Structure 1
Amino acid sequence: MTGLNFTSPREAARAFTPKLSEFIDSTLYPQIWGDPSLSPRDRSLITIAVLIAGGHSDELPAHLRRAVVNGVTPKELAGAITHLAFYAGFPAAITASAVAQSALVDSEPLKR
């Protein structure tokens, strides 16, 4: 599949597994992310922690940007990544730090 360029893992998944994308669009975002038992801010922090701990760095940039939109500051994200180093491992935290630098600082100005 040369010549294809997707801007996110979700776009690539949508192209290859449209049924999976249907579940994401019809269940994950409206039902899970829309559940009022947790704020979007808290869901973002939890999601980022799990992505870091699980080594899922491809999904991390989009969720870091979403976290900022959901009210998590870059300073709080840095603190969470540092905290996770002691639970998820230093390599996971270093990778997350580099991804955060690229996604939040190097790419585009943040709304603060």
Structure 2
Amino acid sequence: MPEKESAAQQAVGDITPKLADLTDQVLFGDVWERDGLSPRDRSLVTVTALIALYRSEQLGFHLKLALENGLTRTELSEAITHLAFYTGWPNAMGAAARLKAVLDAAQD
């Protein structure tokens, strides 16, 4: 049975295979596996950075990963609300809509 392709391989592996490999090997294979922060904490930091920088294209993936890494719906909701005052209302509203979509998809 062939090994399942990573999210990076599925998303861009056919267009930018090296970028997908680096994503798998360096970002998720090294950086995300380092001691010092739990996967849960890394997810909270990543989601916060994506919201602050209005990088919404990657946000849905990382909100889903954050839930898988142990963050709760309430914690993500509170983080988004808190960030509204530091990163701007549009960033928070966009993140809230993304979180709603992720949660809705998880119920299907």
Name the TM tier (shorter chain).
0.7 to 0.9
Write the mapping of 1:13-24 to structure 2, written as runs, cut at 5 A: 13-24=12-23
* TM-score, normalising length: structure 1: 0.84
Root-mean-square deviation (CA, aligned residues, Å) is 1.8
Rounded Cα–Cα distance in structure 2 between residues aligned with 1:10 and 1:52 = 24
| Identity of matched residues, % | 44
Unaligned runs of 5+ residues in structure 1 are 1-7
Tell whether the 8 Å contact from 2:83 to 2:92 is kept in structure 1 after alignment.
yes
Q: Which one scores higher on RCO, CA 8 angstroms, separation ≥ 6?
A: 1
Separation of aligned partners in 2, 1:99 and 1:78: 11
Matched with 2:3 is none
* Corresponding pairs, count: 102
Q: Is the 8 A contact 1:9 1:58 kept in 2?
A: no
Q: TM-score, normalised by structure 2?
A: 0.87
Q: Secondary structure at the match of 1:15?
A: coil
Moved over 2 A (4+): 8-15
Structure (1/2) with the larger helix percentage: 2
